[in-house]
Structure 1
Amino acid sequence: MTGSTPPPSTRASLADDLRRLGLEPDDAVMVHGALSRVGPVVGGPDALVDALLEVVGPGGTVLGYQDWELGVDVWDADGRVLEDLRAHVPPFDPATARAARAHGILASTIGTRPGVVRSGNPGASVAALGARAGEFTADHNLVDGYGADSPFARLVDAGGRVAMIGAPLDTMTLLHHAEALADVPGKRRIRIEYPMVTPSGVEWRWAEEFDTDAPVVDAFPDDFFARIVEDYLATGAGRSGRVGRAESVLVDAAGIVPFAVEWIEARAPRH
């Protein structure tokens, strides 16, 4: 290497960056990452996952939002799988399902690591590695999968955290939990059917949720999650710093969720 080009990150340097950001042993942390912003990494995304696991240690847990990669939209306007595709849609199996490509290579890497445990709600699916992986992902309800007793609610209850490693702030999935909790009228709800692998074989089941593809109410812009995070950080809460070359943020789940609920309720129209 010559000139002023920074050296690539390594597992060790990324672990140091994460510690400076505020990540600690025994933390449970949901991670969103944009590896292109982290810059070159010796070992690629696995090195970042290894660094996260190193910092939280054997008592910690690393979680990643997954969704489900089907490749195409297979549903009609009523949420039913299109008839001509019905025989071709593979059943959702937490043991083999891949993260949606839109969530990036870090989510995919977490979701395919040895020992990973994945929750059973296809659209709201969360993968976890570490000491409490099973606890966070067990019995993920197909109705209101971002609400009470979801992996997101459990992260809040466990005193967990969210790390945005170069990821756009409007991609903080935990804030869908705040949308679920917020007492506002007019939430759009959707029903979608999925083929699911079960102990009894493949079964078709319906999932019901408020529509997470758009803001919980029409009054908010598409990127309003970023505004919530920015307003939360402006209170002095959370931590900011660099992981590799990426501007990154670390927040406490139990702090940002009630802040977001209050933010949504204060600005949502009441008529």
Structure 2
Amino acid sequence: MKKLLSRIVIRLPLILWAIAVIYPILWMFIGAFKSNAEIYANPWGLPHVFNFQNFSQAWNDYNIDTSVFNSLIVTVVGALLTLIMAIPTAYALERIVFKGNRFLFTLYISAMMIPTVLGWIPLFFLLMQLNLLDNIFGLSIVYAVSQLPFSIFVLTSFMGTIPKALEESAAMDGLSPYGVLWKIITPLSMTGIITVTIMNAIQFWNEYFMALIFLQSEENYTLALAIDYISNEAEYTNAWGTLFASLAIAIIPVIVLYAIFQRRISKGMTEGAIKG
């Protein structure tokens, strides 16, 4: 009886929290298939007929298709740039002994504690001088740099557990330091690399504030900015179904990606914490 009671006490808050999180998402998906009349008449009920017109209107009339493409480019380019910079940096900080090694590592990690909002104004003028303002590739660079400390922190945890004997054997066989990095260290750190990539991709896909500051043209809008535009329009045009449909379009890739790699993410974060 005591065990049953303890399980209820532990699980009840988790169940209530899960309901509080899942129910609004389900309500959003249900609203995406409703007409405006149904939303006003019965906002909490199921639609009489599942209508895909809201998705078509969001995709075509509000240029969600362009915004999805822009977000995809920003996410992919930003994630790749992060890996290109983070993997060699993490390897150098973890494996190569040089003066100031620990200080540089601490400097990178301490950057995680600095609010990104402090850099928005300097970055705005820097991108303007480099002619990268209102440019999705310029935004990708900003995203990549912003996630560099986190990526280095995770990757150094994995690289630190790889036996140095493997590197010494590879070097004796004539493999260069770059060969050791890309052919030995990188494959053995793949769990951490996948974890970092997915976490960064989700962050880039959902990011709003930096996109709002650094992008100005509607044709360069990411998905978050397009949804914000539809939200403002819905107040005057009653396009609530279209807004719900656009939100569903935005959240589906994140749910699918996390569902596929959920075990990898959990395993990567746990192993990184233990090994670090």
**More strand as a share of residues:** 1
- Greater relative contact order (CA < 8 Å, ≥ 6 in sequence): 2
**Higher CA-based Rg:** 2
**More helix as a share of residues:** 2
Class of the TM-score when normalised by the shorter of the 2 chains: under 0.3
- With normalisation by structure 1, the TM-score equals 0.23
